[in-house]
Amino acid sequence: MRVDSPTFVRFQLGAQLRRLREAIKVPTERAAAVIKVSPSTLRRIETGRVGIKGPALNALLTAYGVDNTELRETLLTMAREGKRRGWWAKYGDLPEVYRQYIGLESAADEMLNFETIVVPGLLQTEAYAHAMTSEDAFDPGPEAIAQRVDARMERQKLISQGTLQLVAVMDEAVLHRQIGGPQVMRDQLAALLQAAALRNVTLQVIPFRDGAYASMLSSFAILNFPHGPGVVYIEGLTGDLYAEGEDLRRCLTVFTNLRSSAMSPSASLEMIQQIRDAEHQP
């Protein structure tokens, strides 16, 4: 489910095409004209949201002056691989941005996740996920809600099967917020305690008493891959952001500082247990 994600292949191909274009300072508009698409379509190709066919890819590579036969063949192979369908394709109502994230996540071997308000998606119970999705500002409807929850439960196989290492840092607010009601929260906190017992899951909590800290207003997830550079994902109300390079390095530094600010894993689990027993009674 993770090694050959077509979304990951498209993302890496798009990033390579963007680097090639920027290296020779070709504007997006001019490159788009080469393959007779709109600039917005080319940007979607470069961000991995859509694939690119062989003839169009060849035309771009020629325009970019790429004459290395091995590189051209590698990129053409990536374009073919990127057209395959991932397991998440069966959920037809998933938003495109969510599909892309699932595809990248399924290719990762490590996730560093920081959350300020809600439980990390890979650790949410079905009831908690349903309560969260039901409050979507864009009112996805019962069928779409069910598909998103089902997809989230499917994603969690990465954790249960041990194919993904997860390090999750949470603000203490995550543990207090009554999402779905007391019983849902009680079960959710119990699920966190169970997940923390897995060898591939590490949980840490930043307590209220520590006051302000770096990135306290912005959740993010860093995905590291066995093949290719990592990427940081930041979800926003008006759009999602994927960043690499220097932005990724800065987020890695922030995450390291967050872990230093947080309580130890054992102390964090003690807090989760105490809050579950004291606050979230049915």
Residue-wise pLDDT for 203-230, tens only, equals 999 999 988 887 787 899 999 988 777 8
The per-residue pLDDT for 110 is 95
pTM: 0.78
In this prediction, residues 174-201 reach a mean pLDDT of 95
The per-residue pLDDT for 138 is 61
- pLDDT tens figures, 116-168: 999 999 999 999 999 988 876 566 788 888 888 999 999 999 999 999 999 99
Going by pLDDT thresholds of 50, 70 and 90, the confidence category of residue 107 is confident
- pLDDT tens figures, 28-76: 999 999 999 999 999 989 888 888 988 999 999 999 999 888 888 888 8
Greatest CA span in the chain, whole angstroms?
Answer: 67
Percent of the chain surpassing pLDDT 70? 93
| Residue-averaged pLDDT of the chain | 87
pLDDT tops 80 at residue 22 = yes
Decide: helix, strand or coil at residue 75: helix
Higher local confidence (pLDDT), 98 or 154: 154
Going by C-alpha positions, the residue among 2, 70, 81, 82 that lies closest to residue 46 is: 82
Domains plus CATH for the chain? 6-81 (1.10.260.40), 91-278 (3.30.870)
pLDDT tops 80 at residue 104 = yes
Higher local confidence (pLDDT), 262 or 87: 262
> Distance between CA 229 and CA 251 in Å, rounded?
14
Q: For the chain, where are the alpha helices, taking DSSP H only?
A: 6-23, 28-34, 39-46, 54-63, 69-81, 96-107, 126-134, 142-155, 157-160, 173-176, 182-196, 245-261, 265-278
Which of 10-14, 119-123, 272-276 comes out lowest in average pLDDT? 10-14
